[in-house]
Chains A and B, each alone.
Chain A
Amino acid sequence: MTRGRWGLMAALALSVVVPLGLDQYKLYVLSLTLVYVILAIGLNLTLGYAGQISLCHAAFMSFGSYAVAILGQHGVAFEIGLVVGVAVAFAWGLVLGFPALKVKHHYLAMVTLGFNIIVFLVLRNWESLTGGSFGISNVARPAWGPLSFKSDRAFYLYILAWAAVVVFSAYWILTSRWGRAFRAIRENEMRAEVVGVSLRNYKLMAFAIGAAYAGMGGALFAPLLGYIDPGAYTLDRSIQFLMMVVLGGLGRFEGPFIGALVVTVLPEVLRGSEGLYLIIYALAVILMMLFMPKGLVGLWDLAWRSSRSRTSPSISSASPR
């Protein structure tokens, strides 16, 4: 097994065992981290691997949240809401990804940015459906007959199960020929096309799959908080996801885990001063771009390599990178 797979297994085992002893608040932070991991994996697929910038990840996320919340009000099972949310996000990913086929970075950035603002405005103003700026409260957590995931601990494990699905499916996608095609597009679009990668389908898919993961993250986010309102799905939130992925390491499989952890834990440490937190955050991102474009994972690689360089000259790895 490679380093990447060992890491995954160890992380999974730890995430099942460790939280059993945590108090309610820490459990909540950890659950939130997992939700962010799902979202960040989606964005990493779109941005990190396929190089398509998306500034509307929060909008895709809102589809999942509102699907679960609205259908839940009518007594529909959580999982059905989740599937609907993922499907809606996927469909919108296709719709938005379509212009990505013919335009370049700056247009895609603008389209997605505009889309996030429109979705936010619709969420806030379509009161009969979304509850307007008050949002929807009492979003129910899933329950399967007698087996309920209402307690924080049970719901944490429930999120963990979905996170595992996301991690393994993303791993599978990225090690398949899809992943190779995505990376080929990121490195050089024209060359990728010349060697026979069908740009159209892969770019569209990279975008839509990223959106679908965001929808799933959103679906899990709503019952975790218990209430939702449009303020959670602003452009700022999308930018936050972008930073998360950058901070972790663009186009690196471990990136989203590290990014999500830093982004949820750092504000807890700097509690009470959101502005200060954002300043540190912004500085970190700028410095990262300047000196460590590979993110925190890149830093880890450096440390790893220098400690191993005496014993083995080269490390071959099948992990997607």
Chain B
Amino acid sequence: MADFVQLSVAGVSIGAIYAMAAIGFVLLWQTSNTINFAQGEFVVLPAFAMVLFFVIFRLPFAAAMLATVLVSTLLLGWGVKQLLVTRLLRMGVLPLVIATIGLSLLIRYSLQQFWTPLALPFPAIFSRDPIRLGTIVVSLEEIGNIVFAAVVIGALQLFITRTKLGWAMQAVAQNRTLASVLGINVSRLVTITFMLNAALTAVAAILIAPVYLVKYDIGIGLGLKAFYAAIIGGFNQIRGALLGGLLVGVVETLSAAYISSHFRDAFALVILIAVLLLKPEGIWGVKEEWAS
């Protein structure tokens, strides 16, 4: 039983990081119908930036973190929106899908070619000393990740439900044409959403860097987990992505420990396929209207 609780905490801790990437993913889909196949690389690039600022330039942690979020928001948020999305948005879903697949390859192999094909170690942010609660042992790192992610997601939720900009985002998500008729600058909102997403993935990157090593190809797995999380939980709800992220984290940790680490990726997939067949809008999602 103690094992089970410990593993679940570890699962929630990693799942909270997946959830951040998944929430960003859902925001992009909501406001701009972008399926971002480069979401994994959107985590990897800031992770490398963090290595640059924190390990190589030796900036203090807070400054390095700020710089990383800033770079990510500018490059992957504003830059990608201006260069790619603005132009492709009018052409439907498919061209953007293909372009983001291209973008993911571009980022991944540029890092490999022009930086390093090796895994870069990253110092722990939180102490890894065990904390004992009766028979249960958890680490401060796990708790720290969960708390950090909860604060960020909570802040995002407040932004969306309590500010004018957040309301405008919801309006665009519900009906883009109507929102623009009502005087909302849709293009500007899409830009803001991309920047929010990039900030989220940057935070996810900073939390995941000490857990995984920083390597050019970890984005493949991360991106997939974010997709699974978004679909399992519900593609059109932030709470859905949150639930999905936690579920994926817990399921993969538990199944790797109790069943087989060979099929560690497969169990999340089995849930995914079950959800797609039985409730395609996701466990906590809302049915979408017919739209192309």
**Which residues of chain A have a CB within 8 Å of any CB of chain B?**
51, 53, 99, 102-107, 109-111, 113-114, 117-118, 121, 124-125, 188-190, 235, 239, 242-243, 246, 273, 275-276, 278-279, 281-283, 285-286, 289-290, 293
Q: Nearest Cβ in chain A — how far from B262, in angstroms?
A: 5
Please give 17 more A-B residue pairs, beta carbons under 8 A apart, in addition to A111-B276, A276-B109, A285-B101.
A105-B94, A109-B97, A114-B228, A121-B263, A235-B220, A242-B101, A276-B113, A279-B113, A281-B105, A282-B105, A283-B106, A285-B98, A285-B105, A286-B103, A290-B88, A290-B99, A293-B95
Contacts of B110 in A (CB 8 A): 279
Q: Within 8 Å of chain A (Cβ to Cβ): is B66? A: no
In the complex the two chains form, what is the Cα distance from A282 to B108 in whole Å? 10
**Does B242 sit at the interface, judged by CB under 8 A?**
no
> Which B residues are within 8 Å of any A CB, using their own CB?
29, 35, 84, 87-88, 91, 93-95, 97-99, 101-106, 109-110, 112-113, 117, 220, 224, 227-228, 231, 235, 262-263, 265-266, 269, 272-273, 276-277, 280, 288, 290-292
- CB pair A283 B109 closer than 8 Å: no
Asked if residues A275 and B272 are in contact (CB atoms below 8 Å), the reply is no
Contacts of B29 in A (CB 8 A): 106
Q: What 8 A-B pairs have minimum CB-CB distances, sorted nearest first?
A: A282-B105, A285-B102, A282-B106, A275-B113, A286-B102, A289-B99, A278-B109, A275-B109
Closest B residue by C-beta to A289 = B99
Taking a contact as CB atoms under 8 Å apart, the answer to whether B87 and A290 are in contact is yes
5 contacts between A and B (CB under 8 A): A51-B94, A99-B277, A105-B93, A246-B98, A285-B102
The answer on a CB contact under 8 Å between A275 and B112 is: yes
| Contacts A99-B280, A106-B93 given; does A114 touch B113 at CB 8 Å | no
Which B residues lie within 8 Å of A51 (CB)?
A: 94
Q: Tell whether, in the assembled complex, residue B263 and residue A125 are in contact, meaning their CB atoms are under 8 Å apart.
A: yes
Kindly list chain B residues whose C-beta atoms are within 8 Å of the C-beta of A105: 35, 93-94, 97
B106 pairs with A289, CB closer than 8 A = no
A124 to B280 Cα, complex, angstroms: 29
Using known A-B contacts A114-B269, A282-B105, A289-B88, determine if residue A102 contacts B235 with beta carbons closer than 8 Å.
no
A residues near B106, Cβ cutoff 8 Å: 279, 282-283, 286
Q: With the chains together, A189 CA to B291 CA distance in Å?
A: 10
Most buried by A among B29, B99, B227: B99
Tell me the complex Cα distance, A293–B106, Å. 18
Shortest distance between the CB of B264 and any CB in chain A (Å): 9
